[in-house]
Amino acid sequence: MQIATAVFREPNQPFSIETLDLAPPQAGEVLVKVAAAGVCHSDWHLMTGATKHSLPVVPGHEGAGVVTAVGPNVTTVRPGDHVALNWAPNCNHCFYCLNDKPSLCETYIEPIWAGTMLDGSTRLSKDGQPVYHFSGTACFAEYTVVPEPCCVPLNKDIPLTIAALIGCAVTTGVGAVLNTAKVKPGSNVVIFGIGGVGLSTILGAKLAGAQRIIAVDIHESKGDIAIDFGATDFVIGGPHVTDEVRKLTAGRGADYAFEAIGIPAVQEQCLAAIRPGGLVVLSGISPMGSGTNLPGAILTRQEKTVTGSYYGSANTARDFPFYADLYRRGLLNLDKLVSRTYSLDQINAAYADMLAGEGARGVIVFD
């Protein structure tokens, strides 16, 4: 079948809207009609060259839609199911899956980064030449073929725009709080970067019972948004941030700092912003090859801990429905995350708005 897609062909060039050929799903694969796809910074890292990938590629990893066909041996979904797309599929039998780290699944990591299915081929092509799939999902497209574990069924009463955000921003941010850090009630939390992941981290901290939630961003316009989501304080990003955080936390620093941008200099600020014995959680994706200076003497003498949080340390089969249920019960107000919707041919404008710090999360919607 032929489908409309957004294609990325080379760094520092805009996405192009192109018609591609999409082959039907093979064994263990699913065809999904995409309903919504979030405008996430991780796809923009392709544009800047911060993330290296086989090209050309169809980006889009934060999506949701409706199953329209399944290949042989697919057992967990069927046509008509509403699904959130999981960009870190898991096999359920490798070392990491068996040790409750399915987001680190070693079966899928190589083909996902190669931009292919498990058999090493793509389902996307143009004029007979392969076009690669970003993060196994390639959901900046009308339809996508994905491995079965990329599909997590959700009840049909969950809006597909919300299901899309559960597929990345919500799971990454809320999961960093609940799964990775296990934030304790009454804690002081600081969050650097108030995009979709940062706002979801605020929601998670509020859910965990944090006493003080300090939001930090370079865009002053993010202040009102952060407070609306549950932050108790907002600080403009800059060299003064550490002092401001200490003033707000009895001079000690925060118990937990979350970095949701992926900027090494900000990661270093996080270490200075936590108290002795505190925890820094890095959930933003840094440019490949970048480094962060975290002084060992401070880590040792002040017993500070730095950890990564990949996809909110998620078990997506468990966590996607859990977050959807929290949304349904009014405990996660995810409607506020969707600040503006765009059509596929407006994707470059959507990313311009994201880079300007406008709103919470933009979402590409399909008919």
The structure tokens listed for 217 are: 């961003």
- Catalytic residue check, 286: no
- Catalytic residue check, 168: yes
Of 54, 72, 57, residue with least CA distance to 15: 57
- Catalytic residue check, 105: no
Indicate the DSSP class of residue 53.
Answer: -
Unique residue bearing structure tokens 């030449």: 129
Instruction: List the catalytic residue out of 41, 61, 82, 133.
Output: 61
Instruction: List the catalytic residue out of 97, 150, 151, 168.
Output: 168
Instruction: List the catalytic residue out of 41, 42, 187, 309.
Output: 42
Q: How, if at all, do strands 29-38 and 143-147 pair?
A: antiparallel
- Catalytic residue check, 219: no
d(CA 180, CA 171): 11
- Rg of the chain taking only CA atoms, in angstroms: 20
d(CA 282, CA 132): 28
CB contact set of 350 (below 8 Å; sequence gap of 6+): 39, 340, 342, 362, 364
Position 284: which residue type?
G
Instruction: List the catalytic residue out of 41, 45, 53, 82.
Output: 45
Q: Is 128 exposed, middle or buried (0-12, 13-18, 19+ CB in 10 A)?
A: exposed
Instruction: List the catalytic residue out of 40, 139, 151, 270.
Output: 40
The structure tokens listed for 319 are: 């966590």
Q: Is 321 exposed, middle or buried (0-12, 13-18, 19+ CB in 10 A)?
A: middle
- Catalytic residue check, 45: yes
d(CA 350, CA 366): 14
Residues noted as catalytic:
40, 42, 45, 61, 168
